[in-house]
Structure 1
Amino acid sequence: MGDQHEAINPGLGMRVCLAGIRKRFSTAPQMSTEEFYSMWIKANNRDTLEAENVLLLDVRKREEYEVSKISGAVWINAGCSLEENMTVVNDLIKQNSNTTGAENLIVVAYCSLGYRSSQLIGQLEVKKMQMLGPNFETVKFHNLEGSIFKWANENKPLVLPDNTTSTSFVHPFNSLWGKLLREGIHKRS
């Protein structure tokens, strides 16, 4: 058998949802779970995503985040206004950057399936220059396509919010969307 973290072919429901999200949020650049996992595993071999110049944002409700997250993710409140989230993301980018700008900083956001994170990334991408200014023009925004559902379905590692305790559970968001998760990994907070 292959690597336990190899990609699993998503079911029809997942593929249809992802196609709909891509169409609805066409201004939001997408990053595959495979591409992000390559960056993530390199960074985690060095103990930090910052080593790869990546800022990972969890854009779910707090109760979803409390069940699990991708290691290194920073929670931002999905219920806030765009302006509030732009301020938070702007501050996080500046914290993860040097004083002259964010040399090739990659901001990756995820939610349950990608709707909320694609919406945020699309808005941030459009307002990047207004929000960050010319010193940050190399910042690249991406949505993690399929978000934590696809990540978990592919058996990729998850942790509790403490960033050290492993888990295999994911909050299903609701009973309908939870059907896109593999059997046995649903858990509500």
Structure 2
Amino acid sequence: MNRFFLHIVILFVCASAVAQKSLNNLLTQYNTRSIPYISAEETRMLQLNDTVIILDSREQEEFDVSHIPSARFIGFNSFSSERVSEEIKDKNIPIVVYCSLGIRSEEIAEKLKKAGFTNLRNLYGGIFEWVNKEFPVVDSEEKKTLNVHTFNKHWSQWLEKGTKIYNTVN
């Protein structure tokens, strides 16, 4: 029985390593790493200590399905660095920007960097990695939920936990 357990553990570790490598490959394909990554675990620690501003760079429909607690919606298509600068006066405060996987958030963080923000991080793996690590998300009423908007079925492959939501418009 111990040998069986050992095989299961090895299989799990290998599968996790492959999934992580695949996510690395995906992010390398789309990102330049112009904004340093931060892990879900590090972000959660900062969030619990109330020492970070978390910005959600997805679309309103995605944010309404679920978002990281205390995250502020800034959007992607309607993003305005001027609006963010009006709301966040201290341009040296720690800021974590996220999206579904960390692709759109890099682009938004680059715009914030050009606007003078100096302490920016891109959440590695985005909200998908956050949920995969079993950290909480809340809906538009700030109630805990398992739902995560995955944009479409192709991108949903990166969400291993939670309930996949593709489209909320009827």
Shorter-chain TM-score: which interval?
Answer: 0.7 to 0.9
The gaps in structure 2 that reach 5 residues or longer are: 1-12
Alignment of 1:80-159 (within 5 A): 80=78, 85-94=80-89, 97=90, 102=91, 104-125=92-113, 127=114, 131-132=115-116, 139-159=118-138
CA distance in structure 2 between the aligned counterparts of 1:91 and 1:22, rounded to whole angstroms: 32
Question: Letter of the aligned partner of 1:178 in structure 2?
Answer: S
Q: How many correspondences in the alignment?
A: 153
Determine which of 3, 21, 24 is the counterpart of 1:18: 24
Determine which of 18, 34, 37 is the counterpart of 2:44: 37
Instruction: Give 4+ residue runs of structure 1 displaced > 3 Å after superposition.
Output: 8-15, 17-20
* Match in the other structure for 2:156: 178
- SS state at 1:170 partner: strand
Q: 1:161 to 1:184 in 2, by over 3 A?
A: closer
Determine which of 55, 65, 68 is the counterpart of 1:67: 65
Deviations 1:46-82 (A, max 9, x none): xxxxxx2x221111111111110000111112113xx
The gaps in structure 1 that reach 5 residues or longer are: 1-7, 44-51
Which structure has more relative contact order (CA 8 Å, sep 6+)? It is 1
CA distance in structure 2 between the aligned counterparts of 1:90 and 1:70, rounded to whole angstroms: 21
* Match in the other structure for 2:7: none
CA distance in structure 2 between the aligned counterparts of 1:86 and 1:107, rounded to whole angstroms: 13
CA distance in structure 1 between the aligned counterparts of 2:122 and 2:18, rounded to whole angstroms: 20
TM-score by length of 1: 0.71
Q: Percent identity?
A: 31
Deviations 1:143-174 (A, max 9, x none): 111110000111111111233x1111101111
CA distance in structure 1 between the aligned counterparts of 2:162 and 2:34, rounded to whole angstroms: 34
Q: Give the RMSD, CA atoms, in angstroms.
A: 2.3
* Match in the other structure for 2:35: 28
Q: 1:22 to 1:91 in 2, by over 3 A?
A: farther
TM-score by length of 2: 0.78
